[in-house]
Amino acid sequence: MKSIRVALAGAGNCAWSFSQFVAIAQADPDTKLPGLMCPMVGGYRLSDVHIVAAFDVDAKKVGRPLAEAFTAPTISATGFTRLGTDGDSMVLPAPLLDGLDGPLGAVVEQAAATRSATEEDVAKALVEWEVDVLVITLPTGASQAVHMFANAALAAGVAVVNATPEELARNEDIRSRFADAGVVILGDDLRSHVGATSLHTTLVELLLSRGLVLTSTYQLNVGGNTDFLNLADSTRSATKFASKANALRAAGMTDVEGAAGPTGFIEHLADTKVCFAHLQATSVLGSEVEIDVKLKVEDSPNAAGVIANAVRAAKVATDRGLSGVVDEASALLFKSPPHGLPESEARSAFLNFAS
């Protein structure tokens, strides 16, 4: 079985946690990893993944090996282990575009090399490093930058995992271009392993499966990493709210008063994310049911387990000659795929695909 060569578009907290997850798997391929839903995806283990390059715009990261880049001041995710040889992979400059618009511009210094970087440079690097899968983990709202990476990957014939809420897989023109070119794209907006959306949609599905009528719901999320700093700007968070709404609709919630999304940046929380969810429903004889739950997780490792499935699914789909959006993989791993499903159905579809 060949290895899976991965490039990271964005060397931030989620990339750091994913890189550590890969490093632990590489150090002992037979170890049982908590949180790894599928030890094998189409014959690939997580230890078969190798991170060969990354792209960023931060002056503290560009031109440095990954292991050094992940010590930048903007990294708040916990360091659980040292990286293996993947830590020597270099962080390459990418065009800035709208990557640092909003609050991020005040905490990240733009690398000089990004001023002359082009989309063609990114595509060339993907070819030179023989990348199989590009994982896009850029800030929410960086629409221009996300689309630039998608175009570069398409030009290079590299599969894309879009972990951001910016619409790629849901964009009819983009997914048609990938399908016509014979290139796989998975997305949009990574669904954390046991996160706010997974919890919320599971509770919605539970109530509806019992025949209850959902009358109102909300999901409020706060955190202290750079993702939540960025999302504190309403002009940057709009696509995140839309993505979460898509996930709730896929779970079966229609015509119900409700809201779901990031509601605050609390710096001392660092990479901790706290979710407060409320659901109210009408049951037998008009009796009322209310559910209030609090979920507290470390945000970035929660994403790493899903990226571990997504990169292997993208490679398997490519190996099988598939192209464009692969619904069997996207429905479970992303909040806002083109064709959403209730989580129980999405899980069955993914496990069938992965076998």
The per-residue pLDDT of the chain, averaged, comes to 94
Of the pLDDT bands very low, low, confident and very high (cuts 50, 70, 90), residue 245 is confident
| Weakest-pLDDT range from 78-92, 190-204, 257-271, 335-349 | 257-271
Mean pLDDT to the nearest integer, 130-136:
98
Q: If you average pLDDT over residues 165-194, what whole number do you get?
A: 95
Q: How confident is the model at residue 320 (pLDDT cuts 50, 70, 90)?
A: very high
- Least confidently predicted of 72-86, 229-243, 294-308: 229-243
Distance of CA 238 to the CA centre of its chain: 17
Q: Assess contact for 280 and 215: CB atoms under 8 A.
A: yes
Q: Does domain 196-298 have CATH number 3.30.360.10?
A: yes
Residue 9 pLDDT = 98
Query: Is residue 248 scored above 90 in pLDDT?
Result: no
pLDDT tens column, 28-40: 999 899 989 999 9
Confidence of residue 251 (pLDDT cuts 50, 70, 90): confident
> Residues of the chain with pLDDT > 90: what percent?
84
Mean per-residue pLDDT for 3-20? 97
For 293, counting Cβ atoms within 10 Å of its Cβ (0-12 exposed, 13-18 middle, 19+ buried), the class is middle
Write down the pLDDT at residue 211: 95
Over residues 266-290, the mean pLDDT reads 95
φ, ψ of residue 31 in degrees (nearest 5): -70, 150
Residue 349 has pLDDT above 70, yes or no: yes
The whole-angstrom separation of Cα 93 and Cα 122 is 8
Identify the pLDDT of residue 255.
Answer: 63
Give the strand order in the sheet containing 213-223: 257-265, 213-223, 272-282, 288-298
Q: Which pLDDT band, with edges at 50, 70 and 90, does 192 fall under?
A: confident
Q: What is the mean pLDDT of residues 169-190?
A: 96
> What mean pLDDT comes out for the span 103-108?
94
**Confidence at residue 97, expressed as pLDDT on a 0 to 100 scale:** 95
User: For residue 65, how many C-alpha atoms fall within 13 Å in the half-sphere facing its CB?
Assistant: 10
Beta bridge partners of 56: 93
Q: Is residue 1 very low, low, confident or very high in pLDDT (cuts 50, 70, 90)? A: low
pLDDT at 134: 98
68 has a pLDDT exceeding 90: yes
For 106, residues 6+ apart whose C-beta sits below 8 A from its C-beta are none
Of the given ranges (45-49, 93-97, 202-206), which has the lowest mean pLDDT? 202-206
Domain extent listing, the chain: 4-191+301-354, 196-298
Structure confidence by residue, pLDDT tens digits, 82-91 = 999 999 999 9
pLDDT value at position 75?
Answer: 96
Give the sheet arrangement for strand 159-162, strand by strand: 91-93, 49-56, 4-9, 133-136, 159-162, 184-186, 324-325
Task: Return the pLDDT at 60.
Answer: 97
| pLDDT for 332 | 94
CATH class of domain segment(s) 4-191+301-354: alpha beta
pLDDT average, residue stretch 108-130: 97
Beta bridge partner(s), residue 258: 217
Q: What percent of the chain has pLDDT over 70?
A: 99
Average the pLDDT over 203-225 and give the result.
93
The confidence band for 261, taking pLDDT boundaries of 50, 70 and 90, is: confident
Q: What is the pLDDT of residue 257?
A: 64
Task: Specify the DSSP element, H or E, that contains 263.
Answer: strand 257-265
Tell me the pTM.
0.94
